[in-house]
Amino acid sequence: MRMKKAYRLKSRVAFQSVYTQGRSAANRAAVIHALKQEAGTATRVGFAAGRRLGKAVVRNRVKRRLREAVRSFWPRIRPGHHVVVVGRQAAVDMPFPELRAKIEELFERAGLLQREG
């Protein structure tokens, strides 16, 4: 199942505000930038991959893999945030289970995950 469009961050203005006002956490797979929104709003996530990762095919594959990694733990993400996930070079050929674990670890460090239970 795909992530609903209502939960995606798309506009340049939204990305810029998250980059400039938000807080970030990073590891070798990715960087996440998170900006708290007013209470009661759904969390929205955007994905980015810079040109230095490679040509469009490679960048799009990285974004698809990041999207799938986030989707796998989507129900645990706290509401009320805008998040941008930026792929890094290591994400290009990292095995998917490791990529998923690294992304989940970033969300945990940023305080965006609810406790399981």
Map out the domains of the chain with their CATH numbers: 5-109 (3.30.230.10)
pLDDT value, residue 3: 72
Give the pLDDT confidence of 24-71 residue by residue, as tens digits: 999 999 999 999 998 878 899 999 999 999 999 999 999 999 999 999
Mean pLDDT, the chain, as a whole number? 93
> DSSP labels for 36-104?
E--TTPPPEEEEEE-GGG-SHHHHHHHHHHHHHHHHHTGGGBPSSEEEEEEE-GGGTTS-HHHHHHHHH
Crossing angle between the packed helical segments 96-109 and 56-72, to the nearest 10 degrees: 60
Q: Is the pTM of this model over 0.75?
A: yes
pLDDT value, residue 81: 95
